Structure 1
Amino acid sequence: MTYYIIGQVVAGYLRIGHARTALTVQIVEDNDHRLFTQVMAPSIVVEALADAPEHTGSTFFRVFDALREIDHQVTAIANAWQSAGGRQERLEVREKIFGYLRHLAHSIERKGRQARRRTPHAELRSRQQRPIHKAFDDVQAARPEDFFRDSRTDSIVVAGKNGRSHVYNEQGRHITSLCLLRDEFQRRRNRRRYVPLPGKTIKQFVAAVTAAQPGT
């Protein structure tokens, strides 16, 4: 597919073990003048972003938050870009996009600093904005095709709404919740990291999750 790069931000270095890595975030336009966000990074960075536990206040989860924010912003402005009737309108939308990218660069830098000085109160407030509280509801509402086994960690992954994913152990204890970047969930399925869970195991798992709830 041919596309035109409207703007981009390169962020780094991000440390993963002893490696120093970087990622590139692009706002691009396709042949139909549709806008979308494109993240270009080594697979080790993509995995680190998707797997970063939200309850630790890790730098990678804060970077993930910033990426999710700009993706939502670009989705919201895409119609205005497509319907722009003249050069001036297109320039106004383009300037907003550049503003989003500047904010992204600043946000990634700020979130990295916050990770080193986060207070317990701020951590609690941040956790309240995560999809953790939706975990049990999403399990109850999930269809059979929404349950998977993570072949790498042997945990159970439940796909919820709006990109939410919830990770449990076999005994029904909630481990963490994620909001995977667009296409990352499908990529993990394609690589057979996420394998569909058999029906019998699903019933046992849902029963275990229910039994593990407080007051049951």
Structure 2
Amino acid sequence: MPKPKRNNPAKGKTRSRAAESIHRRLQGLVKSLLDRDGSEAISGLPDVVELNLHVPVQLKTDDPHLSQKFAQNLVQQIEALRTEGEIEVHGHRSGHVHCYWCQQPDCEHSVPIDGHTVLSGWSATGLPLWKNLTNHLLAEAPELLDHIHGDTISPLALLVDGTDLLAEVLPQYLEGTTFAHPLAGLIVGGFPLQLPNHEMDHLALTALILETRTAKGTPKYRWNFIATPPKPFHLATLLGQEDTSPLARWISVLRTMLVGVQEEIEHRAREGKRMPMKECRQKVFKMLSEAQSILGTFNRRQDRKTQHAQERSNDPNRPTSAAIADVLASKRKDVFFDQRESTVIVRGPSGRVHVFTQNGIHVTSARYSPDSILLRIQRKRWVSMEDSDYLRFHEEIHQRLDQNRDEADGRNLGNA
């Protein structure tokens, strides 16, 4: 019986099973890196992509630097493909906000500088505007400042409307953009984060709801979480399903809630009863409000304080009432600069600690234990102020006091 013919390569061609194995492993590596952190980049790429690989081979000695250089080049190309695929699928780059000035989804302006910075909007020319969370709350929701200042840190979430975020952008920077529309979002902070040195920090992030449409016109909503955690933390890991931290659990709830909203929208569309855009957006905003309530916070209303804040304001023993007196009586050794929050700390008697902006605006007050104060000083989170900065801060305080007196005198004359 004749032996079956082997499926040999055509004459003149050589075959290396080892080389084929290397190619298959490279394909697997590329797919794995493209799928990393739940990315859907592959859906936005063609079936076949070309990698421009340079494979230097040292024949006489083993040089590990060549392997490192090859790996670096390969990973950079895959990351570029991942960015391209994600933008094609979602109209945005995960972990970045759109820059309408650069017309790029992931330029140098698209990420916050640190873990305490959040998105406050876009400039007239479309540049993302980033602001320290303390300063943002001071302007938008001062009643929430106690969540991130004091011995106890607690989570907060502030609802923001995409219309407000884009309010300053000139029309010519928005026309013709292919970016996903930032419909709304949550400014989030106060989630505890233990640093490698065992000091407790908190993470601030911007959670945007981005709106696109399918080919049939059905709205599609996705989360985009933007933050720059301190090293060695990685945002995707902090938000991942495997993490059981309060932040990860809350983010998991957010994702589940949005999936529910999206499924309802798509179910209506499949039945031929497409949900009007206005109703879709109302459902998204309702979901965001529910997400806020999960953290025990309230919608952003500048003219309304929480009951907790009102009770604290009415408490005669609260250290806030002594803030100005403690500042005026303070000596240089009692005034510090908080390097993490970029605020001024004034230490008063009986454990009173007052937080001010650098231009003299009172943020909040609290009582700290002696150990808590000492720990912050030892770890150089609170550092002594230079003489010039100390004098400048006191000048700011006195100018504000004089301004307040002048305004009070003016009101008294007007009422006379």
Higher Rg: 2
Which structure's residues are more often strand, by fraction?
1
Task: Give the TM-score band, short-chain normalised.
Answer: 0.3 to 0.5
Q: Normalized against structure 2, the TM-score is what?
A: 0.25
